Amino acid sequence: MDIINKVTDAFWSTHIWLPPNTTWADIAPGSRPDVVHANYRDLIWPIPLAAVVMLVRYTLERFWISPIGKSLGIRSSRPKKAANVPTLELAYAKSSHLDHKWLAPLSKQADMSERQIERWWRLRRAQDKPSTLVKFCENTWRCLYYLYSFIFGVIVLWDKPWFWDVKTCWYGYPHQSVSNDIWWYYMISMSFYWSLTATQFFDVKRKDFWQMFIHHMVTLLLMSLSWVCNLHRVGSLVLVVHDCADIFLEAAKLTKYANYQKVCDAIFAIFTVVWIVTRLGFYPRIIYSSSVEAPRILPMFPAYYIFNSLLLMLLVLHVIWTYMILKIVVDSLQKGLVSLMSGDIRSSDSEDLTDSSGNVRVANGSMRTKTKSGNPATPAAPVTAAGGVNQRKRGNNSSANNHTTDAATTTAAAN
120 & 229 share domain: no
Domain encompassing residue 122: 86-128
CA distance 171 to 74: 52
Residues 151 and 145: their CA atoms lie apart, in Å, by 10
Check whether 249 has a pLDDT greater than 70: yes
Who's near 176: CB < 8 A, 6+ residues apart?
35, 37, 230, 232, 233
Same domain, 110 and 204: no
Mean pLDDT of 65-87: 81
Cα 30 from Cα 193, distance rounded (Å) = 29
Res 188 pLDDT > 70: yes
111 is a domain residue: yes
Q: Is the pLDDT of residue 404 over 50?
A: no
Q: In this model, does residue 351 exceed pLDDT 50? A: no
pLDDT at 306 over 80: yes
Mapped onto helix, strand or coil, the DSSP state of residue 139 is helix
Residue 229: the pLDDT is 93
Q: Is the model's pLDDT at 174 over the cut of 70? A: yes
Q: Is residue 31 part of a domain?
A: no
Give the phi and the psi of residue 377 in degrees, each rounded to 5.
-110, 175
Kindly state whether residue 210 falls inside one of the protein's structural domains.
Answer: yes
Mean pLDDT of 178-186: 95
| % of the chain with per-residue pLDDT over 90 | 45
For strand 374-380 and strand 383-393, is the pairing parallel, antiparallel, or unpaired? antiparallel
Q: Verify that 314 and 169 share a domain, yes or no.
A: yes
pLDDT confidence of residue 412:
33
State the greatest distance between any 2 C-alpha atoms of the chain, in Å, as a whole number. Answer: 81
Write the DSSP symbol of residue 259.
T
Residue of higher predicted confidence among 289 and 391: 289
- Same domain as 248, residue 111: no
Strand, helix or coil at 298? Answer: coil
Q: Residue 342 pLDDT more than 90?
A: no
Q: What is the mean pLDDT of the chain?
A: 78
Residue 175 has pLDDT above 60, yes or no: yes
pTM to 2 decimal places: 0.74
Q: Under 8 Å CB-to-CB from 4, ≥6 apart: which residues?
A: none
Q: How far apart are CA 265 and CA 132, in angstroms?
A: 19
pLDDT of residue 273: 95
Bigger pLDDT: 79 vs 183: 183
**Position 28 in a domain:** no
Say if CB 353 and CB 342 are below 8 A apart: yes
User: Based on the structure, what is the number of domains in the chain?
Assistant: 2
Both 124 and 180 in one domain: the answer is no
* pLDDT greater than 70 at residue 223: yes
Select from 271, 222, 219 the least CA-distant residue to 244: 271
Q: Are residues 107 and 204 in the same domain?
A: no
The pLDDT of residue 252 is above 90: yes
Q: Are residues 124 and 225 in the same domain?
A: no
Per-residue confidence (pLDDT) for residue 310, from 0 to 100: 86
- Top pLDDT among 315 and 94 is at 315
Tell me: do 326 and 400 sit in the same domain.
yes
Q: Percentage of the chain with pLDDT > 70?
A: 78
Assign residue 365 a region (left: φ > 0; alpha: ψ between -120 and 50; beta: otherwise): left
Q: Tell me whether residue 16 is in a domain.
A: no
**Whether residues 247 and 116 fall in one domain:** no
